[in-house]
Amino acid sequence: MEADFVIVGAGSAGCAMAYRLGEAGAKVLVVEFGGSDAGPFIQMPAALSYPMNMGLYDWGFQTEPEPHLGGRVLATPRGKVIGGSSSINGMVFVRGHAKDFDHWDAAGASGWAYKDVLPYFKRMETWHGGRSDYRGTDGPLHVTRGPRSNPLFHAFVEAGQQAGYPVTQDYNGQQQEGFGPMEMTVYKGRRWSAANAYLKPAKKRFGVGVVRALARRVVIEEGRAVGVEIERGGKIEVIRARREVVLAASSINSPKLLMLSGIGAGRHLAEQGIPVVADRPGVGANLQDHLELYLQMAASQPVSLYKYWNLWGKALIGAQWLFTGKGLGASNQFESAGFIRSDAGVEYPDIQYHFLPIAVRYDGKAAAEGHGFQAHVGPMRSTSRGAVTLRNADPKAAPVIRFNYMSQDSDWRDFRQCIRLTREIFGQEAFKPFVRHEIQPGADLQSDDELDGFIREHVESAYHPCGTCRMGAADDPMAVVDPQARVIGVDRLRVADSSIFPRITNGNLNGPSIMVGEKVSDLLLGRDPLPPEELAPVLSQDWGRAQR
């Protein structure tokens, strides 16, 4: 039970690191509490609403009652399975905007500007969209697009154009702003999770080992991480690390593990009876997420996927997928996207759209109206911040999760703007043949107060938690890791997952999380980072004066 590197968490970043470290000849052990990702619920893209609602694959975390949402408790799914959250997510692939990473660099995460991370985004992917200086061609992660055969996908992009927004052929390339095709981590009809892309090949080719166990804490001797204490089969053991320990256990479990190991806010650890190894008040702080609403429209003709939303329809789709790997089962059905700016003076997009040709909720419940479609919409850069703290010193206890959602006046203003801009898009000529009426929020809700009531009751997490082990300058008292992802105050211990994001990126977080694993693997190996690539993004020329 010893390796050069011990990685806690077989999720998006952990799988990428395991592959790259194993490829370099290091002995790697990955500790993962969850089990196998085999079976159609995970591997069939269209079944995405199942695994994130199954205790077998999900940690089952929940927030504390959220004070600004009327005391609602929101689900916080995190993958408890090989592949982590990349095995239970919606498979949407978004890198984030170039300016997001420039912000990281300016905020103290030097070496993480867009020019620095672009080579890693390229190294990690095989893009199936043609040739582009911005895209990779031979990485482990396959990035594809759906067939977009439903006319609603084209109506959405056309309506965006009619409303005065640009069209973008590749929001992960030169220009994020605009409407266009959405990308997904699906390959040959299967979910292309970090487990399929990285971990399974790493086990087969490089002998990377996976230990199924609960990580209890990092073992630290004389200020240095020497291993990980685990529990399996009722026994407590230690896996020793000859070189380094890396936490890649999610933005919920990585700070929890640091605190259980004595790294965190000294007062909070003392309250739990945990001896303080490093007093780092930033551990668990800076918690961020994306919230979203579904704006649902009833359809005037039977073009949506609702006709399959019954036992017989689902069985047909499942059978076709099982035998051929094709059909509706081979797509996550998020095949058109939009990124827009909420106002003049906003430099780059701060609103994201996922379009879906059915009116349905994440828990799989369809709208009572029958045929319909919806846009998931939400602001990208809320200034609300929350925290993850320990409930007690028991490694098996779920942590206390408080996002503090909608705690800023700007959050409410931004969401009202999201609703009004989306209504305008659905009101365009392109949707005239398809729209019967607005299901949700409902056309009678118009005033700020009415919209605020709807937001308070219906806003949902997009499941993008991050930021709880913030990366920053080594002398920043609230930073948890330095720009090499090393935990400040403890030797031979790093964190590499979405918890190190200084600020949340534009869009879904699986892509940037894998990028973190790729980049940190080079740091762990002591290699020079890949040479920077000076490719600038396209920004709206008129952003200072116009919203579109």
Q: Give the residue numbers marked as catalytic.
A: 464
Residue 470 near residue 506 (C-beta atoms within 8 A): no
**294 CB contacts (<8 Å, ≥6 apart)?**
359, 361, 374, 375, 376, 440, 458, 460
Q: Provide the token pair at 297.
A: 């429209």
How many other C-beta atoms are found inside a 10 Å radius of the C-beta of residue 57?
28
Where are the strands (E) in 392-450, listed by range? 400-402, 435-440
Q: Indicate the DSSP class of residue 292.
A: E
Is residue 92 a known part of a binding site?
yes
Longest dimension (CA), the chain: 70
Q: Is 54 annotated as a binding residue?
A: no
- Host H or E run for residue 191: strand 190-191
Is 90 among the annotated ligand-binding positions?
yes
- 91 among the known binding-site residues? yes
Alpha-carbon separation of residue 364 from 302, 314, 361, 492 (angstroms)? 19, 12, 5, 44
Give residue 204's identity as a one-letter amino acid code: K
CA–CA separation, 466 and 423 (whole Å):
30
Q: CA 37 to CA 17: how far, in whole Å?
A: 19
β-bridge mates for residue 355, sequence order:
336, 375
Distance CA 245, CA 258 (A): 12
What lies within 8 Å, CB to CB, of 323 at 6+ separation is none
> Residues forming the annotated binding site for FAD?
81, 89-92
